[in-house]
Amino acid sequence: MSRTAGMSFPLAILVDVVSALAALVLAGAFVALWRRSRAPLHILFATAFATLAVGMSVVSTSEFDLSGSHPAIDALRVVAHTAAPLMLVLGYRAAWRDLEARPARTALVSLGLSGGLAALLFFAPPSGAISAGTTSAGFAVAHALQFLLYLALVTLSARTFFRAPSWRRALVPLAFLAYSFSKYSWILIDLSEDRSLVALVYFWRFVTLALFLAALLIPLVKGVRHAEA
């Protein structure tokens, strides 16, 4: 059964493409921000969104093929969607503890650990049961871990808000919270096989992307207005 049976094929393809493009736009915006700030966390955000774009772009490849599971593609999706929040958790941890930031190493470690998880879920014994089509258990484990990582990011990013509360500082923690709702929805789908919840997954995904876009654009717009004044 298709994991996205709750949506039409063309609509889900469109949503995936738009999601990936939006993630790439955010990655580019964070690169531009990093070029001005040279803050390691900014380049990690850029890397995380680029990684998410990869994961989003391959979602429908396997989900709409009803002939069986595709462990290699499923593994790629798990790697991308797990590595992205993991590298941000490690980046925030380094920033808050005043540790020496090494974005490249952080990204590689995150990809390596996520790759190990994907290999364990889809290729290590007893992978036969999973690759034969019963992928729900593997996805449930991956989505649960991703859910916890995004909850951790809510806590880590909220520290800035609580230092100096403002609605603009709330945007990033709210974005992470929205994406944790998306992952929680996936867990429900994995366990219940209720495909009607897929639309909810995409809804929270777009809320997340919109909040991050607002967090980046609002300060930029205000800076332009101040410069023109």
Q: Domain residues of the chain, as ranges?
A: 9-228
Q: Tokens 């090494």 identify what position?
A: 102
Tokens of 37: 């700030």
Q: How confident is the model at residue 19 (pLDDT cuts 50, 70, 90)?
A: very high
- What residues contact 4, with CB distance under 8 A and at least 6 apart? 12, 60, 63, 64, 195, 198
Q: How confident is the model at residue 150 (pLDDT cuts 50, 70, 90)?
A: very high
Q: What angle do CA 174, 180, 181 make, to 5 degrees?
A: 90
The span from the CA of 37 to the CA of 156, in Å, is 20
Tell me what the mean pLDDT of segment 200-204 comes to. Answer: 92
Tell me what the mean pLDDT of segment 78-84 comes to. Answer: 95
Instruction: Give the whole-number percent of the chain exceeding pLDDT 90.
Output: 47
Is pLDDT above 50 for 214? yes
pLDDT attached to residue 131:
46
Which of 108 and 69 is assigned the larger pLDDT?
A: 108
* CATH superfamily entry for domain 9-228: Rhodopsin 7-helix transmembrane proteins (1.20.1070.10)
The pTM score is: 0.85
pLDDT attached to residue 133:
45
Is pLDDT above 50 for 149? yes
